[in-house]
Amino acid sequence: MIEVKELTRYYGQKKAISDVSFKVNKGEIVGLLGPNAAGKTTTMRILTCFMPPTSGTATIGGFDIFEQSMEIRQITGYLPENPPLYSDLVVEDYLNFVAKLKGVESSRLKSEVDLAIEKASVGDVRTRVIGKLSKGYKQRVGLAQSLLNNPQVVIFDEPTVGLDPKQIIEIRELIRNLKGEHTVILSSHILPEVEQTCERVVIISDGVVVAEDTPENLTARMRGAERVLVEVEGLEKDVRNALKSLPDILTIHVEKQIDKVLQLVIESKSDLRKEIARKIVENKIGLLEIQSDKLTLEDIFLDLTTKEEEA
């Protein structure tokens, strides 16, 4: 449904995104994850034809962002980071206006607006002036706007930012309900959000895609294998000797050494905690601690997006 090919965008001399490529299938919910200023908004603005990339291209529903931007706009709903609201308009008038902009015929106007109001549950404020609404309702009116004219693709830029926990849950619920009917891209720098709402995650850092997968796979792949953290009192050579006979071990890596105490990270194909413990003890090396190292998306995120100082 959406295909992004090597998008690069400069702001003056500064590179905002570089060679960003990913694909989104029909009906999927994909999360663009990254710290602030990673290039999420830039990518979304390019996809919604708000601005062109410096190089590279993208297609939505088979339409090219350069050649067929009007067609793309027709099938895409967009909620920018700051909901684009006219504060002096009444909610209903605003939605009517947007529906007309999107080319909804006058015969369908009322039903389209009603549907969007229902989906975003802003029915209780439909006759109120937008400027007087709370942040949560403003966000939802923005959401209603993006769902007008039943777009095939919906793009949300940080849809839950600035909302209270209850509102966040409601918005997430709402987005999850779009699954299947609409193809959704949403950006966020909040991990649980992406974990809960998205089927696939594209992690962007410093304008580069650093990972792309399902939240589960990403966790699994990043772990690469089972990781066991071992603290022993002894020599590295002895430990290596001791564990040599275990065929499933992939790597042994010394994390830290304080006097005789070694901290090791052992990666293996399967969970070998029992075997490792036994071998170490059998070889008369003092075993101080052994634990399985579990990575959360949080770790992966930090790992992928934090620059390593030593590198």
Partner 1 sequence: MKKTFAIFEKEFKSFFYSPMAYVVIGIFTALTGVFFYLYLSNFVESAFMDQMRAQQYRQMPQKFNVNLMLIRPYFWNIALISLFTLPTITMRLFSEEKKQGTVELLYTSPVQSIYIILGKFFAGLAFYITLLIPTMIFQAILFIYGDPEFLPVLSGYIGLVFLGSAFISVGLFISTMTENQIIAAIGGFALSLFLWVIGWASSYAGPTLAPVFEYISIIGHFEDFAQGVIDSANVAYYILFSVLGIYLSLKSIESVKWRT
Least gap, CB of 74 to partner 1 (angstroms): 4
Residue of the chain from 25, 86, 123, 286 that contacts partner 1 (CB under 8 A): 86
Nearer of residues 112 and 195 to partner 1, judged by Cβ: 112
**Integer Cα distance of 298 and 129 in angstroms:** 40
Name the 3-class secondary structure at 178: coil
187 makes contact with partner 1 (CB under 8 A)? no
Least gap, CB of 310 to partner 1 (angstroms): 37
11 makes contact with partner 1 (CB under 8 A)? yes
> Is residue 310 left, alpha or beta, with left meaning phi > 0 and alpha meaning psi from -120 to 50?
alpha
152 makes contact with partner 1 (CB under 8 A)? no
Nearer of residues 9 and 200 to partner 1, judged by Cβ: 9
Q: Applying CB under 8 A, which part among 81-89, 178-186, 217-225, 290-298 lies near partner 1? A: 81-89
Residue of the chain from 6, 19, 67, 88 that contacts partner 1 (CB under 8 A): 88
70 makes contact with partner 1 (CB under 8 A)? yes
Identity of the residue numbered 212: E
Q: What angle do CA 223, 214, 290 make, to 5 degrees?
A: 20
Residue of the chain from 29, 63, 65, 78 that contacts partner 1 (CB under 8 A): 78
103 makes contact with partner 1 (CB under 8 A)? yes
Site for partner 1 in 37-66 (CB under 8 A): 45, 48-52
Tell me which residue of 241, 283, 288 sits closest to 263, measured CA to CA. 288
Residue of the chain from 18, 43, 139, 145 that contacts partner 1 (CB under 8 A): 145
Instruction: Name residues whose C-beta falls within 8 Å of residue 4's C-beta, 6 or more positions apart in sequence.
Output: 20, 21, 22, 23, 43, 47, 56, 58
Nearer of residues 183 and 305 to partner 1, judged by Cβ: 183
**Integer Cα distance of 167 and 163 in angstroms:** 6
Name the 3-class secondary structure at 225: coil
Full DSSP string of 100-164: HHTT--HHHHHHHHHHHHHHTT-GGGTTSBGGGS-HHHHHHHHHHHHHTT--SEEEEESTTTT--
Phi, psi (rounded to 5 degrees) for 133: -80, 160
Nearer of residues 45 and 227 to partner 1, judged by Cβ: 45
Point out which residues bind partner 1 (CB under 8 A). Answer: 11, 45, 48-52, 70-71, 73-74, 76, 78, 80, 82-89, 93, 97-98, 100-103, 145
